[in-house]
Chains A and B, each alone.
Chain A
Amino acid sequence: MTNQDITVLIADDHEIFRDGLSLVLLKAPGIRLLGEAENGRELLNLVHQLRPDIVLTDLKMPVMDGIEATREICIKYPGTGVIALSMFDEDEQIMDMLEAGARGYLLKNAGKREIITAVNAVYHDGNYYCISTSQKLAALIAKNRSLSRSEKMEFSSREKEIILLICRQFTAKQIAGKLFLSSRTVEGHRTRILEKMKVRNTAGVVIYALKHNLVTEKDLLER
């Protein structure tokens, strides 16, 4: 453990889930788990005492929910990045969390690697949107002006073609087939696109593309 470790707090009202999550974080290199809270009020107290870099918090909790806690953390402790944890089909609450200041969100069945990626992304001043972000949620996030600020980059027409196909959830292999390119070339383009957009996964690409009008919501539905 070094001083450069990213310090993390977690909050969830289910002890079993906290145990699972803390197991992942305790084993992750470069991350130090500072503590656990079972509701928003406890979380606020811990944030005040420990000033963590990152908070991973559930949405629905007794006493004080994650949305209210996030709002307060983001105002009082701007150095702390909040990542929301949600079950499936909670799109609107996820939006509430993002509007309250959360910089990313994860579905609770995210894997170990994704959790660690998200913590790192948000720590390094980015946003993180879960791999399984629904297109509906991507559109909601893209529509919201205050979220996901990013400068507009120039893309070649080939890249634009690939962006559109990524947004329609095609895999690199399928895209290669459609555009008569090799999978490796498509992978190369994809990596460059992710770099230019400063995003980590397909969800990030969809949100960026919608936000900068590279694709429209209607484009997403056609296949």
Chain B
Amino acid sequence: MDAQEAKFYLAVLAVAIVTGIIILYFMLSFVRQHRRYVRLQKERIYAEIVTLERERRRIASDLHDDIGPMLSSIKLNITCLDTELPQDLEIISKAGSYIDETIGSLRTISNNLMPGTLLRKGLEEAIREFTGKMGGPAGLAILIEYAPGLSLGRDREVNLFRIIQEIVHNTIKHARATRLDIHVYAENEQLILATRDNGQGFEGGMYSRKGAGLGLKNLESRTEIMGGRVLMHSVPGKGTQFYFEIPLE
């Protein structure tokens, strides 16, 4: 090998090293960029969910604490009208029952936005109340096993409640199940939420449909912001199972 040739190889080597460094640099910065993006995405979802729940709570309590008494007051005022005319009496009684209906809707809306039971009596009572209302009319027997003495904190309770809500809705809407089991317990510093229905199951496709897909995404986001993970298992004809693992600091 003469000096000329050695110089050439050296130059090639240098170019290769430089190119390698550049490629490596780009790759690293791409990975870093991606990680940052994922982190930001997570933070954004977290902020979104926190804001959403806060707003829901505020609207629910405004409806309950402010609009409710105002409607009641309108009813009291109307029923105080003095009249002996049967037509007028009928109008008064009708108006009264309309206001009662309005208050009834207000109660439903406020409760859907944020169940008072969840805030006052915690997750277990809230799930029992919710499933009690939903299961019967849909012909779905919902069995709940809730380990005593779990202390989860309000945010986690709200997230878990929304997850269970979503699963119950999905089961009623899509699964054609007659039974849904919900278990909540702690194991190795982890909170476990496990559900199983005896419905028709699906082959992965169901959740990719429009609308239903958003539901599953929601389950994932809520699990993610609690730092947990979710597994889903479904076999056509053999029902669907969900398994959530959430760290219990």
Q: A111-B79, A111-B96, A112-B79 are in contact. Are A87 and B73 (CB under 8 A)?
A: no
- 56-73 of chain B: CB within 8 A of chain A: 64-66, 68-73
Complex Cα distance, B115 from A92, in Å, reads 14
Candidates B75, B117, B121; contact of A109 at CB < 8 Å: B75
Contact: B70 with A109, CB < 8 Å?
Answer: no
Partner of B73, one of A16, A60, A89, A90: A16
The answer to whether B76 touches A87, judged by C-beta atoms less than 8 angstroms apart, is no
Q: Does A24 contact B (CB under 8 A)?
A: yes
A23 an interface residue at 8 Å Cβ cutoff? yes
B77 within 8 A of A: yes
B76 and A24 contacting across the interface, CB-CB below 8 Å: yes
Chain B contacts for A92, CB-based, 8 A: 120-121
Q: Are A14 and B103 in contact (CB under 8 A)?
A: no
Interface residues on B, range: 20 to 34
Main secondary structure of the interface of B (DSSP, over half): helix
Please measure, in the bound complex, the distance between the C-alpha atom of A17 and the C-alpha atom of B64, giving whole angstroms: 13
Q: Mark A3-47, 1 if CB is under 8 A from B, else 0.
A: 000000000101011011101100100000000000000000000
B116–A89 touching, CB < 8 Å: yes
Determine how close the nearest CB of chain A comes to the CB of B22; give it in whole angstroms: 65
| B66 in contact with A14 (CB, 8 Å) | yes
Known contacts A89-B107, A108-B68; A14/B73 CB under 8 A: yes
Task: Write the A111-151 contact mask toward B (1 if CB under 8 angstroms, else 0).
Answer: 11000000000000000000000000000000000000000
A60: chain B residues at CB < 8 Å are: 65
| Nearest chain A residue, comparing its CB with the CB of B121 | A92
The closest CB in chain B to the CB of A93 belongs to B120
Residues of B within 8 A of A109 (CB): 71-72, 75, 99-100, 103
**In the complex, which of the residues A12, A27, A111 contacts B69, with contact meaning CB atoms closer than 8 Å?**
A12
Q: Does B111 contact A (CB under 8 A)?
A: yes
A21 to B82, CA, bound (A): 16
The tally of residues in A whose CB lies under 8 Å from a CB in B reads 20
The distance from the CB of A125 to the nearest CB of chain B, in whole angstroms, is 26
Q: B80 within 8 Å of A by Cβ?
A: yes
A20 to B78: give the CA distance in the assembly, Å: 9
**Chain A residues closer than 8 Å to B120, beta-carbon distance:** 92
B80 touches A112 (CB 8 A): yes
| A132 CB → nearest B CB, Å | 9
B189 vs chain A, min Cβ distance (A): 32
A77 at the interface (CB under 8 A from B): no
A201 CA / B99 CA spacing, docked (Å): 22
Q: What are 28 sample pairs from A and B whose C-beta atoms fall under 8 A apart?
A: A14-B73, A17-B70, A17-B73, A17-B76, A19-B73, A19-B77, A20-B72, A20-B73, A20-B75, A20-B76, A23-B76, A23-B77, A24-B80, A87-B64, A87-B68, A88-B64, A88-B107, A89-B111, A89-B116, A90-B116, A108-B68, A108-B69, A109-B75, A109-B99, A109-B100, A111-B75, A112-B76, A112-B79
Q: With A27-B82, A90-B116, A108-B72 given, name 11 new contacts (CB 8 A).
A: A14-B69, A16-B73, A20-B75, A23-B77, A24-B76, A27-B80, A87-B65, A89-B111, A92-B120, A108-B69, A109-B71
**Residues of A that sit less than 8 Å from B by CB:** 12, 14, 16-17, 19-21, 23-24, 27, 60, 87-90, 92, 108-109, 111-112
Binding site for A on B (CB under 8 A): 64-66, 68-77, 79-80, 82, 96, 99-100, 103, 107, 111, 116-117, 120-121
Chain A to chain B: the 10 pairs with minimum beta-carbon distance, closest first: A20-B73, A20-B76, A108-B72, A17-B69, A112-B79, A14-B69, A88-B107, A16-B73, A17-B73, A87-B68
